[in-house]
Structure 1
Amino acid sequence: MRFTFRRARSLYHLLWFFPFLLFAPTLLSGKALVWGTPALQFIPWRMLAWEQIRSGLWPLWNPLNGMGAPLLANYQLALYYPPGWLLYLLQAIGGTPWMAWGHTLLLVAHLAWAGYGTACLVKQLGLGELAQVVAGLAFSMSEYLVARAGFFSMIWSAAWLPWILLLIEKLAMETTARRRAGRLGGLALCVGLQLLSGHAQITWYSLLFAGIWSVTAGWAGRGWRGAAALAGQTALGMALGAVIASAQLIPTFELLQQSQRASAVSYDFAMTYSFWPWRFLTLIAPSFFGNPAYGDYWGYASYWEDAIYIGLLPVGLAFSTLRMVWKRTGEAPSRQPRLRLLWAMALVGAILALGKNTPVFPFLYRHIPTFDMFQAPARYMIWPVISLSLLAAYGIENCRRPSGKALKGLRKTIPILMAVIFGAGMTWFMIPSIKSSFIYSTILAALLGLLVAWLALKQPLEVTSPAHQRWAWWVALFVGMDLAAAGYGQNPATSMQFYSDAAQTGAPSEGRLYLDDKSEYDLKFGRFLRFSDYRQQESWNAVRQAQIPNLNILDGQSSANNFDPLRPARYENWMLYVSTLSAENRIPWLKTMGVDRVEAVTQPEEHTYAVQPLAGAERFRFYPCAIFTDNADESWNETQRVIQDGIDRIVIEGSGDAGVNCDLQSDDKISIQLDQATRIVLDVEVNRAGWLTMADIWYPGWQADIDGQTVELAKANYAFRGLPLQAGRHTIIITYRPAWFWPSFVLSLIGLMMAVILFFLGRKHPTQ
């Protein structure tokens, strides 16, 4: 396609150009994103997954964090998300550094995909090329997405929202059953891909938005009967999409049931990152409260959670549609339901995003299901962001060169903006103590306002003229440059060689590292990763050496800590209790956990740390006698007593032989023959009956074979694994074989085949 002003369609090039421009310094200089979750979660997870695949193991289990944790069930790993397979291809070619670099490439592709989907949706709504591209840039380059770019799964999920809305619109327009079947298949595929993309919260908010959209789209065409029909078809497409994603959803559901969020997140946790009301000002001045890219952010909480900027011109265009909502202004009547829906969704989303700052979300948290599932209500701002982006499309479509009163008002605005610039400069000079972000943000917003006024005055009267096409280019370029400048520096990168070392496929047998909660937070956010300043504080290699979880995966080292979003509840309770103990009282607990190294901050003011060895830790241990309990609470109480009093017993949740002569020492030999992520082979010789305990977290799906006989793994010492042994020499094989693996995989294949059949059925001409 030639890049020429004479082809308005070429405006679509900007939908990939600006995401690429924003991340070109990272992509073209051989760097990879590093700040926060790229280094602490996503890249280590995928690195470990590939290392296991390369060794012939399916990546079901992470042996390196949290004394063992589910890996495939970790939703944000998104192992089955097809676009993410590019990362494993790159890792196969160039190792982990290439895979780390590929995350940025895939990120750019998803931002472009989000923009293109939004543009196609606007086209389906009957609006022109400029409207399509303005909306596409406003959503895809919005700070809601760009400031969160390091949370890869969020971007992957959000990119599918406009495509789902587009399929619903197309479904509403179809009149034949065959064509509706095709649209339904396409909708199911899009929903399935979004469910596989790895972020449950953004996906849930997107599907809620899409469900409400379907009611409005159906009602606009055929009244309430049409609304009910389209909502039902949309629900069917979403259900089929969930079937496609079964291979991921089923193990994740099991993990959720076993996790610290099994019932609901706590009120305080759920309200974390409620949208700070003052950040509504950043709709026109994104750095009004500073910007961590410049090292001067001073606003509430983290910058990215409240980031909502969609560009000064798009937000102005969106608000210009308010007069079109209720009054007839020459617009097609069919557009008004969409305008009303978008404004309603923007308002509702903003109210929900405010979280604890209004009584609404706390009420919903206590009384309405699903509102107690996630933290960070601010993420509901995806509703206002997509709504305002689409409203901007309607605004630019209805925009005409100002005349009459509008022209007089615009001419009066220009000197006002110039006065604002002068006044801000004088304020900075006269009141040096004022926050500098107030000044430069105000000046920049006023300068952008002057450019908007200039563009308005230069708009040609004839919409179809070459001059208008050139003007459209200036408008689209202005929107893209504004958003690219706002997003600059939000995603720090370093040399991709930071990720150079390969992980191992199994946990080293020498023991685990433990880092207490306070030291972990101090190292993360006091020394290395500061919310107020993204600029490099010191060498990123120092971050790597600190072994902050889950960076330990990069070196194949085991850590008792875990930075996964979902963790087994018993593990979580154990770690929370251990964190409350003094350093001395913590020692017997750490030995029970198989910890042989303890890391702690020694000088909080300088954030310096030291690693001390801990002798006596054992991952595998034989106990001649056991204490049996009936439930988890009793097991926890007995475990505390046994560890704190130094009693040589194992606590088993269940029934069995407690043993005799418990004061006699056993003569046991335990040799590890194989230690892989999902398979452990032990050679054990004991001179009496008893129990073997393993300092790895108990989790459904783990099984033990003793000399060829299957034995159930018991819950030992509240959180770990135990199995009974008779006197003698035994070969013990401990494997992770979850019951859901093949059924969930087959179910996904069935769902995928159904969706593909429906999709191609709709593409076939009815007469064929």
Structure 2
Amino acid sequence: MANPSTESDPAPTGREAPAWLALLVFLACAFVPLREALLDPSGRALLAVDTVTSQLPWSAHLAEQGLEPDVANAELSDQGTVFHPYYRWVVRSWLAGDPPLWNPHVYLGAPALGNPQAGVLDPQVLVLVLFEWLAGEPGFALGLALTAWLRLGLGAFGAFLLARRLGLFGSASWLAGFGFGFCGFTVLWLNHPLGHVPVFLPWLLLGVEAIARARRGGGSAVLPFALLALTSAACVLAGHPETSFYVCAFVGLWCLVLARTQRAAGLLAAAGLVLGACLAGPMLVPFLEYLGDSAATAVREGQRSTFADIDLVGLFAAVAVVATWIATGARRFGGLFERRATLRAGLRIGALALGALVLGFRGLPEGAVLAFVPGLFGRPDEAGGYLGPGSYLEEASLFAPLAIAALALASIARGSGPLRGRGVLIVGTALAWWLAQRAPGLLELKQQIPKIGLGATVRLAPVAALGIALLAAEGWQVSKRSGRVLGMVGVLALALVVGPVSQWARSTAPPPAPSVTALETAGLVVVPQERTSARRIELEGWYDPERVQRVGVRFVPQRTDAVAMGGSGTSLDLFDAPSATARARLSANDVRVPDDVAERARWFRSIYLDTSRLSPGWWTIELALEDRSGAVEHVPVTRIDVVRPVRFSSGFLLGLALWAVLPFAFRRWARILVVGGIAVRLIGFAEGLNPAIDARRVFPETATERVLAEAPPGTRFMGGPGVMPPNSAMVRGLYSLRGYDGLEPLGYFNFVPYVLLPGVHPILGWNARGVDVSSPLFRLTGVQRLALAEPFAAPGWTLVAGPDAGAPRFAEVHVYAADEPLPRAFCVPRVIGLDDLVSLVRSGTGFDPRAVASINGDWRPRTPMQRAEVGAPRSTNTTVEVDVALDGDGLLVLTDMMFAGWEAEVDGERRELEYAYAVFRGLPLTAGEHRVRFVYRPASLRAGAALASVAFGLALLVGLLAARTRRGGGQEARP
């Protein structure tokens, strides 16, 4: 493996463009796709909040204002539902002097510092605090646009400088800048925390190279060491540890390879990288704590493959490719392959092509072709939308123009070139690319690594993108005829990857139509067309709740290589009445519900079914019906033929391949033309994928929000399907029982199933329609308002606002208030163990939460209280104060999430907290008047701060030693 840094720096041939000119060019190119938000920050907003405000109540409010709800790019929903509300709350909290360490507005409360995506310490989010402090909310919008612009421009500029530092000059360095700065991952995830990370990758490598250069020249490495540590810290703080880990791991590999020939420089660079990560300890340690007690870990552990699941054929194909590359570069065979470079290149390209074919037919994802032709199945920002497999964000994250990929392949096949560190680049790029494509064999093998194996491999795309860009730049710089020939051969090899589109689009003969007799317990009313290419399909039906306990939908493939999707309880929302579409079909007598069932029938809809999760071909749709005994019957009801519409013909793909040959056929006089064409292609790819939204669509205040805000402070509400999705209420400071942060407290995750109605999916059905609103456990959540799109009838709930004329007051949706809500804090005289509570819940007899509570500990009241007065809690993000007076012993229950780091003080003295009802905070109290204070002081934050302090001290020590120990270049080992 070649060393990333050699003893001398090759000089450019000819006149080189100044670095400042490159920076201006890259910033100008980054300006093009973001121009609307940059030119009009007060009228346009960059984060795609239209994905949220196209739902109620904002959609109704916008319609009243003459603005029809619209979504420019539906794939960016997380920007509106998660990141915009989180960033607004983080900015407001810092400006108010209320540190956003804990977020009380989602779930039952959740760590905020421990969730890096919240951006509590992310420098790119803290910039927004400064901008809002200077210019208010318009400054916030301007900050979003400016930081996104700088991420694109500085990422490209860093790759440009890195290419020069590694021995590439002229148009090759420009090609590297455009290839990485506007790669699929950076553009698609630009305004997600994932997109905050890639910009640091080339700058980290530049820092390593600067240390190596300083050590060789006998100069001081203190400044580059300090800058490397700070850049590493900013990379880790950037908001997505998964992506940061992959980026830093590749840089760490670069340091280790450097240490083979420049031991001091390699170790010093590795120390700077590690110390920088330690400087991010105040975020990193709380994140690890939250991750360990989150649903994300539990869910991903359940998805981990075993050694028995490893695809040995796919793994053999990958190993064979690497072994061929190593063998053809080994010194013992060097003489043969130096004399016969064509033979070496042929073997390498043949191995790569064969590996691509084997991995492709062994299970490479259907969307793998989007790495080269990202518009094959449409784009999410276009009128027809994206109709391909999975998520466009995930599948197209590896996009690189076919010309760049062919150039990189030509460079790999050559076996030598001017690019320093090409060995580590080739190995790292190959592993990153194949793992990001979820290649069989490699993927299962990676999943065996503890903790690291749980990470999504698509996050390796930035590493692959930088490697491909640098290798392509080298392939472009090589001027020999052999390079041109190899490049054209590379295009043909890539065609073997693009070619399997035909097998992905294949179908099968239709299965026999299901023969279904009239069901007395359930049935479908709304079914999709038999042949469909739609992204989403709708199903709606009914079931008899007296005879069916749970209903689900299952898709059974006709193809033997596809996997059945779904099961009991999959993707269903429950309703009391049919939709307008179903009523129309019932009125037309197309279907019917038995007369003796019609009055009590419940209705289910699968509004989240996505055909991108289904392979092309025929599928039989079955109802999964579970009776009261637990027996499940699968009844086939209809069939569909899923078609994947391909926008481009084979002729277009051939033309694309021929265009990719141009860099090799017309090298000398077409440099500017070809590099410019690639730049235009990449900028064109970025155009429209991060749309600027009309500022009037950015969470306009609604009557519904004003009604919800009238509930007692700190009490929660719950929205129905399509009404105020998770996190959106944070923009008004409201408290919602639902939330989304990518982690989710494990206690909350385990609590959810106990308050759901039978047959409801614990994720897709977790809304006001899917819960038992009269159950004691649901009352404990502190929900005092429900917001639903349709009328709702349940004992104990009263309509307080709605869109109908008969409502007490106006709101865009139907808002119901609890008649006898539980307060947020109350005292309980009787305490039992958790096992006793579970038995009580399962018995179905019910219980009064104000009369009995469970804790995990052994404490029990000696003299149970008869009366207690509990004042209204007074809250900040990290504190809750309550005044309590009681005449005996009792358990104070605060219906907020119990989590590590929460402490209690009673009259200034610290007391131990208990888990009340397994998820809430419980505090044993004795008779008397008390002032109780709950404080969030996570030990993980103290540990992270201590780690950062130690790292800072070590950084200073290493810097001083490096300053005193200057070695000449001759003292370093030479390759």
Category of TM-score, reference length = shorter chain? 0.7 to 0.9
CA deviation vs aligned residue, 1:682-714 (integer Å, no higher than 9, x gap)? 222223321110110011222222233322221
- Verify: 1:438 aligned to 2:646, yes or no: yes
Q: Distance in 2 between matches of 1:159 and 1:293?
A: 24
CA contact (8 A) 1:594 1:695 kept: yes
Match in the other structure for 1:477: 676
- Verify: 1:512 aligned to 2:601, yes or no: no
Match in the other structure for 1:364: 446
- Verify: 1:15 aligned to 2:55, yes or no: no
Match in the other structure for 1:238: 273
Match in the other structure for 1:26: 37
CA contact (8 A) 2:155 2:180 kept: yes
Match in the other structure for 1:191: 232
CA contact (8 A) 1:512 1:558 kept: yes
Q: What is the Cα deviation at residue 178 of structure 1?
A: 6.1
Match in the other structure for 1:729: 929
In the superposition, relative to structure 1, how do residues 514 and 176 fare at CA in structure 2: closer, same or farther (>3 Å)? same
In the superposition, relative to structure 1, how do residues 171 and 55 fare at CA in structure 2: closer, same or farther (>3 Å)? closer
Find 1:284's aligned residue among 364, 372, 379: 372
Q: What is the Cα deviation at residue 21 of structure 1?
A: 0.9
Q: What is the Cα deviation at residue 759 of structure 1?
A: 6.0
Matches for 1:580-659 after TM superposition, within 5 Å: 581=758, 583-584=771-772, 587-599=775-787, 611-618=815-822, 619-629=824-834, 634=835, 637=838, 640=841, 645-647=846-848, 648-658=851-861
**What one-letter code is carried by the residue in structure 1 that aligns with 2:119?**
A
**What one-letter code is carried by the residue in structure 2 that aligns with 1:284?**
F
CA deviation vs aligned residue, 1:164-204 (integer Å, no higher than 9, x gap)? 22223333442377634544333222211111111111111
CA contact (8 A) 1:182 1:760 kept: no
**What one-letter code is carried by the residue in structure 2 that aligns with 1:646?**
F
CA contact (8 A) 1:400 1:459 kept: no
Q: Distance in 1 between matches of 2:395 and 2:189?
A: 10
Match in the other structure for 2:735: 558
Match in the other structure for 2:404: 314
Q: Secondary structure at the match of 1:64?
A: coil
In the superposition, relative to structure 1, how do residues 404 and 212 fare at CA in structure 2: closer, same or farther (>3 Å)? closer
Find 2:394's aligned residue among 269, 288, 305: 305
- Verify: 1:572 aligned to 2:755, yes or no: no
CA deviation vs aligned residue, 1:222-275 (integer Å, no higher than 9, x gap)? 3xxx5x76654444223211221111112222222332245672343899xx99
CA deviation vs aligned residue, 1:501-539 (integer Å, no higher than 9, x gap)? 7999999526212247xx3xxx3xxxxxxxxxxxxxxxx
Q: What is the Cα deviation at residue 284 of structure 1?
A: 3.0
Identity fraction in percent: 24
Q: Distance in 2 between matches of 1:616 and 1:380?
A: 52
Q: What is the Cα deviation at residue 438 of structure 1?
A: 3.4
Question: Which structure's residues are more often helix, by fraction?
Answer: 1
Q: What is the Cα deviation at residue 553 of structure 1?
A: 0.1
CA contact (8 A) 2:101 2:112 kept: yes
Q: Distance in 1 between matches of 2:436 and 2:166?
A: 27
Q: Distance in 1 between matches of 2:266 and 2:145?
A: 36
Q: What is the Cα deviation at residue 128 of structure 1?
A: 0.2
Q: Secondary structure at the match of 2:827?
A: strand
**What one-letter code is carried by the residue in structure 2 that aligns with 1:287?**
G
CA contact (8 A) 2:484 2:664 kept: no
Matches for 1:669-688 after TM superposition, within 5 Å: 669-672=869-872, 674-688=874-888
CA contact (8 A) 2:371 2:395 kept: no
CA contact (8 A) 2:218 2:966 kept: no
Q: What is the Cα deviation at residue 452 of structure 1?
A: 5.5
Q: Distance in 2 between matches of 1:77 and 1:92?
A: 19
**Which moves more between the two structures, 229-238 or 398-407?**
398-407
- Verify: 1:41 aligned to 2:65, yes or no: no
CA deviation vs aligned residue, 1:363-387 (integer Å, no higher than 9, x gap)? 432x32234432x333333332221
Q: Distance in 2 between matches of 1:511 and 1:405?
A: 70
Gaps of 5+ in 1: 421-432, 461-467, 524-545
Gaps of 5+ in 2: 1-14, 49-75, 307-361, 500-532, 534-641, 759-769, 792-811, 968-975
In the superposition, relative to structure 1, how do residues 12 and 683 fare at CA in structure 2: closer, same or farther (>3 Å)? closer
Match in the other structure for 1:494: 693
Match in the other structure for 2:432: 349
CA contact (8 A) 2:755 2:771 kept: no
**What one-letter code is carried by the residue in structure 2 that aligns with 1:637?**
V
Q: What is the Cα deviation at residue 138 of structure 1?
A: 0.8
- Verify: 1:712 aligned to 2:912, yes or no: yes
Q: Distance in 1 between matches of 2:113 and 2:298?
A: 22
CA deviation vs aligned residue, 1:126-164 (integer Å, no higher than 9, x gap)? 11032112111111101121112231x212211111122
Q: Secondary structure at the match of 2:892?
A: strand
Match in the other structure for 1:109: 150
- Verify: 1:748 aligned to 2:783, yes or no: no
CA contact (8 A) 1:284 1:445 kept: no
CA contact (8 A) 2:113 2:283 kept: yes
**What one-letter code is carried by the residue in structure 2 that aligns with 1:247?**
P
Q: What is the Cα deviation at residue 111 of structure 1?
A: 1.8
CA deviation vs aligned residue, 1:97-132 (integer Å, no higher than 9, x gap)? 532442232112112221121112111111103211
**What one-letter code is carried by the residue in structure 2 that aligns with 1:187?**
L
In the superposition, relative to structure 1, how do residues 441 and 60 fare at CA in structure 2: closer, same or farther (>3 Å)? farther
Match in the other structure for 2:795: none
Q: Secondary structure at the match of 2:738?
A: coil
The alignment's TM-score, normalised by the length of structure 1, stands at: 0.79
Q: How many pairs are equivalent?
A: 680
**What one-letter code is carried by the residue in structure 2 that aligns with 1:381?**
A
CA contact (8 A) 1:305 1:378 kept: yes
CA contact (8 A) 1:283 1:310 kept: yes
Match in the other structure for 1:464: none
Q: What is the Cα deviation at residue 586 of structure 1?
A: 6.0
CA contact (8 A) 2:301 2:454 kept: no
Return the index of the structure with the highest Cα Rg: 2
**What one-letter code is carried by the residue in structure 2 that aligns with 1:598?**
L
Q: Secondary structure at the match of 1:65?
A: coil
Match in the other structure for 1:373: 454
CA deviation vs aligned residue, 1:382-440 (integer Å, no higher than 9, x gap)? 33222111111101111468999899x89x99xx9xxx9xxxxxxxxxxxx99896344
Find 1:167's aligned residue among 181, 198, 207: 207
CA deviation vs aligned residue, 1:426-476 (integer Å, no higher than 9, x gap)? xxxxxxx9989634476665566666666666544xxxxxxx6xx544333
In the superposition, relative to structure 1, how do residues 586 and 575 fare at CA in structure 2: closer, same or farther (>3 Å)? farther
Match in the other structure for 2:625: none
**What one-letter code is carried by the residue in structure 2 that aligns with 1:477?**
G
Q: Distance in 2 between matches of 1:753 and 1:77?
A: 28
Taking only aligned residues, the RMSD between alpha carbons, in angstroms, comes to 4.0
**What one-letter code is carried by the residue in structure 1 that aligns with 2:847?**
G
Q: Distance in 2 between matches of 1:262 and 1:240?
A: 26
- Verify: 1:203 aligned to 2:293, yes or no: no
Q: What is the Cα deviation at residue 13 of structure 1?
A: 2.9
In the superposition, relative to structure 1, how do residues 437 and 117 fare at CA in structure 2: closer, same or farther (>3 Å)? farther
Q: Distance in 2 between matches of 1:204 and 1:39?
A: 26
